[in-house]
Structure 1
Amino acid sequence: METSGNFSGKADVYAKYRPSYPKEYIDYLFSTNHLKDDRIVADIGSGTGIFSRQLLERGLHVIGVEPNDEMRKVAEQSLNQYSRFSSVKATAENTTLKGNSIDLITVAQAFHWFDKKAFKIECQRILKQKENVALVWNSRDLTSPVIKENEEICQKTCSNFKGFSGGIEETPEVFSDFFKEGKYEFKKYSSEMLFDYEGFLGRNLSASYAPKKDDEEYERFVYLLTELFEKYSKKGKIALENITRSYLGNV
């Protein structure tokens, strides 16, 4: 199934409003995978380079693999000061990378778009022996009242909405099928993110399912989100509970 166009026209808003990942998580990746500055990481579905940047800042060699032209161009422009970054136009299922060449595969906010079986075979091909795949999402805490109401707005106005992060959190068997012998290490990090009105709206509009300006439901979507912001914001800021979920293991 072709999904690379789902974020077309959204690269700039995605790069501007999507959050990065907790320092604790990056530290965990480095310690668990014994990462040093000579290691090569393939960041698959790298998008606008949000996660790639965090790895580059720690001195790693990072290959960003991204099929969407708009997203990839934003990453190439914003990361051009990093000599250890290279960008590849390719899919998760056919990365075009050399076999047995990668020390760690990372997938941030993208695994739910992939053909899981084909991606697993590709990981086995390009990874060095016994090295890991790390899947990670920044997710909304669905127990939070404001996020529950945010979800209801998406259900009302976004025809392609299937749940935040494609609803993958509700299907744990996907991870058991993907990782070798169903074994993986799960980590969770909780944090609170503060957004002003522009940031809150931008975060919602960056989603693949969100209507674009010329779509019929766009104005209603923005209106309902504005009402939600006014209901829950304090001193011009709204707090959203964030959960970073990580799945790490061999494939």
Structure 2
Amino acid sequence: MSELHSTARFSDRVDDYMRYRPDYPPALLDWLQRVQGVDAGWWVADIGAGTGISSKMFLDAGYRVTAVEPNAPMRAAAGRWLQACENFDAVDGRADATGLPDASVDLVAVAQAFHWFDAAATRREFARILRPRGLAAIWWNSRRLTGTRFLEGYEALLQTFGTDYTSVAERYADDARMRTWFADGYRGSASFEHGQRLDFESLRGRLMSSSYAPQAGHPMHEPMLQALRELFDSCAERGTISFDYDTRIFAGHLA
């Protein structure tokens, strides 16, 4: 998948992304601080920061954060949302060309975006911008595919209507590949349960925030929404469904 494609494909989904994408469980930051020694005095480079969901987690805990994001509409949305935070700035950059100085940041954080990156080029860039003994932390919310009738029905819906769903889904790294990426600097991983309770409008927005969901005007758009409505109606309890994730995080040094 080309760099242009991967950095541009969310440009027309910014509003849905901001409103309906999940945040990250508090246990994740607790694990970074308690187990990996991350401290609020550290400077965080949030790579592929998108609309700022991960940046806000660090800002709320008192960290200085530089969001690196190549997609101009998403970067602008993060700036509008977080402009009141004095410890925040956002820059135009990519994972393999952040524009940050050598040995300048304490923590490189990647939330959700790692599967779009060139792994080898990204590793070199992260090693360049990290201070000696600085840490890289990479995590994502992994949507559960089975376990409830809704989760299984939603996966079937994506398989049926998603424009390039299979190729995107297959880009996520497994545990072995992440350990290999960190190599001798690997320091550990963890998994945390996470989820959203969504009414139908929120579920619709969550679906439309995905880059593989066909948009209005596409011949599969209306059939997809009809199928989503039917799935929701058959599975909802008290007007909502549970959209369940496992949040996986990997951390280590990059010599």
Check whether TM > 0.5: yes
Letter in 1 for 2:162: C
Residue 147 (str. 1) matches residue 151 (str. 2): yes
SS of 1:87's equivalent in the other structure is: strand
Deviations 1:168-212 (A, max 9, x none): 456444313310237341201113421111111111110111111
Q: Structure 1 residues 59-68 or 213-222, which shifts more?
A: 213-222
Find the partner of 2:65 among 56, 59, 62: 62
Q: Distance in 2 between matches of 1:192 and 1:69?
A: 28
Per-residue Cα deviation, 1:51-75 (whole angstroms, up to 9, x for no partner): 1001001110000000001100100
Match of 2:210 among 207, 210, 227: 207
Matches within 5 A, 1:89-100: 89-100=92-103
Picking from 1, 9, 12, the partner of 2:12 is 9
2 CA distance for matches of 1:155 and 1:195?
21
Match of 1:159 among 144, 160, 163: 163
- Partner of 2:252 in structure 1? 249
Q: Is residue 2:134 matched to residue 1:131? A: yes
- In structure 2, do the counterparts of structure 1 residues 214 and 94 end up closer, same or farther at CA, with 3 Å as the change threshold? same
Q: Distance in 2 between matches of 1:123 and 1:177?
A: 15
Please give the alpha-carbon distance, in whole angstroms, between the structure 2 residues aligned to 1:176 and 1:192: 26
Match of 1:218 among 218, 221, 239: 221
Unaligned runs of 5+ in 1: none
| Root mean square deviation of aligned Cα | 1.6
Identity %: 34
The equivalent of 2:24 in structure 1 is 21
Aligned with 1:121 (options 99, 109, 124): 124
Please state if 1:111 is matched with 2:110: no
CA shift for structure 1 position 116: 0.5
Higher deviation after alignment, 206-215 or 103-112: 206-215
The residue aligned with 1:74 is 77
TM superposition score normalised by structure 1: 0.94
- Tell me how far apart the structure 2 counterparts of residues 131 and 117 of structure 1 sit (CA, whole Å): 18
Q: How has the CA–CA distance of structure 1 residues 180 and 71 changed in structure 2, closer, same or farther, with 3 Å as cutoff?
A: same
Match of 2:89 among 63, 86, 90: 86
Q: What code does the residue aligned with 1:151 have?
A: E
C-alpha distance in 2, partners of 1:122/1:81? 29
Seen in structure 2, the aligned counterparts of structure 1 residues 21 and 93 have a Cα distance that, compared at 3 Å, is: same
Which residue of 36, 44, 47 maps to 1:44?
Answer: 47
| Structure 2 unpaired stretches of 5+ | none
Contact 2:188 2:250 in 1 (8 A): yes
